[in-house]
A and B are shown apart, each in its own frame.
Chain A
Amino acid sequence: MPLRHAYRRRPSRRRATRRLAADLALLAMAAAFALPLAWVLLSAVDPGAGLRVRIPDGLTLDNFRAVLTPDITYTPLLNSLLLCGGGTALTVGCAALAAYPLSRFPSRLNRPFLLTILFATSLPITAIMVPVYALFVRVNLIDTLQGTVFFFAASQLPFAIWLMKNFMDGVPKELEEAAWTDGASAAQSLVRIVLPLMGPGLAVVTVFSFVMMWGNFFVPFMLLLSPDRMPASVSVNDFFGNRGMVAYGQLAAFSVLYSTPVILLYVLVARRLGGGFALGGAVKG
Chain B
Amino acid sequence: MRRAHPAVRTLPLVPALVVLLLFLAGPIAYCVWIAFTDLQLTGQAHSSFTGLANFRRAFRDDAFLNAVWLTLVFTVLSSLVGQNTLGLALAALMKRASKPVRTLTGGVVITAWVLPEVVAGFLLYAFFRREGTLNAVLDWLGLPRQNWLFTLPILAVSFANVWRGTAFSMLVYSAALDEIPAEITEAAEVDGAGGWRRLWHITLPMIRRSIGTNLMLNTLQTLSVFGLIWVMTRGGPGGRSQTLPLFMYEQAFQNSMIGYGTAVALLLLLVGSLFSVVYLRLLRTEV
A195 within 8 A of B: no
A86 within 8 A of B: no
**Are A130 and B261 also in contact (CB < 8 A) when A101-B12, A122-B272, A135-B27 are?**
yes
Contacts of A60 in B (CB 8 A): none
A240 within 8 A of B: yes
A126 within 8 A of B: yes
A153 within 8 A of B: yes
B50 within 8 A of A: no
User: How far does the Cβ of B96 sit from chain A's closest Cβ, in whole Å?
Assistant: 4
Contacts of A217 in B (CB 8 A): 116-118, 226-227, 230-231
Query: Is A33 in contact with B23, judged by CB distance below 8 angstroms?
Result: no
Query: Is B136 in contact with A124, judged by CB distance below 8 angstroms?
Result: no
A45 within 8 A of B: no
- For the complex, give the distance between the alpha carbons of A126 and B277 in Å: 18
User: How far does the Cβ of A66 sit from chain B's closest Cβ, in whole Å?
Assistant: 17
Partner of B1 from the list A25, A101, A185, A214 (CB cut-off 8 Å) is: A185
Contacts of B223 in A (CB 8 A): 124, 126-127
User: How far does the Cβ of A24 sit from chain B's closest Cβ, in whole Å?
Assistant: 9
What does the 1/0 interface line of A109-128 toward B look like (CB < 8 Å)? 00000010011101111111
**Are A218 and B227 also in contact (CB < 8 A) when A130-B248, A130-B252 are?**
yes
Query: Is B277 in contact with A127, judged by CB distance below 8 angstroms?
Result: no
Query: Is A23 in contact with B101, judged by CB distance below 8 angstroms?
Result: yes
Partner of B23 from the list A130, A154, A262 (CB cut-off 8 Å) is: A154
**Are A26 and B127 also in contact (CB < 8 A) when A33-B112, A124-B224, A217-B227 are?**
no
User: How far does the Cβ of A129 sit from chain B's closest Cβ, in whole Å?
Assistant: 8
Give residues of chain B (83-142) contacting chain A, Cβ–Cβ below 8 Å. Answer: 86, 89-90, 93-94, 96-98, 101-102, 104-105, 108-112, 114-119, 122-124, 126-127, 129, 131-133, 135-137
Query: Is A134 in contact with B275, judged by CB distance below 8 angstroms?
Result: no
Query: Is B133 in contact with A53, judged by CB distance below 8 angstroms?
Result: yes
Contacts of B20 in A (CB 8 A): 120, 154, 157-158
Query: Is A123 in contact with B172, judged by CB distance below 8 angstroms?
Result: no
**Are A128 and B126 also in contact (CB < 8 A) when A118-B280, A119-B280, A186-B4 are?**
no
Query: Is A154 in contact with B19, judged by CB distance below 8 angstroms?
Result: yes
- For the complex, give the distance between the alpha carbons of A49 and B130 in Å: 15
Query: Is A128 in contact with B93, judged by CB distance below 8 angstroms?
Result: no
Contacts of B11 in A (CB 8 A): 101
Give residues of chain B (205-233) contacting chain A, Cβ–Cβ below 8 Å. Answer: 210, 213, 216-217, 220, 223-227, 230-231
User: How far does the Cβ of B111 sit from chain A's closest Cβ, in whole Å?
Assistant: 6
Query: Is B108 in contact with A262, judged by CB distance below 8 angstroms?
Result: no
B183 within 8 A of A: no
Q: What 11 new A-B contacts, CB under 8 Å, besides A118-B283, A189-B1, A259-B119? A: A27-B101, A94-B15, A105-B6, A105-B9, A122-B217, A124-B268, A125-B224, A127-B268, A130-B258, A150-B19, A251-B122
Chain A positions within 8 Å of B, measured between CB atoms, are 18-19, 22-23, 25-27, 29-30, 33-37, 39-40, 43, 50-53, 90, 93-95, 97-98, 100-102, 105, 107, 115, 118-120, 122-135, 150-151, 153-155, 157-158, 161, 180, 184-186, 189, 211, 214-218, 221, 232-234, 236-237, 240, 248, 251, 255, 258-259, 262-263, 266, 270, 276-277, 279-281, 283-285
Chain B positions within 8 Å of A, measured between CB atoms, are 1-2, 4, 6, 9-13, 15-17, 19-20, 22-24, 26-28, 30-31, 34, 39, 86, 89-90, 93-94, 96-98, 101-102, 104-105, 108-112, 114-119, 122-124, 126-127, 129, 131-133, 135-137, 163, 168, 171-172, 174-176, 210, 213, 216-217, 220, 223-227, 230-231, 245, 248-249, 252, 258, 261-262, 265-266, 268-269, 272-273, 275-277, 279-280, 283, 286-287
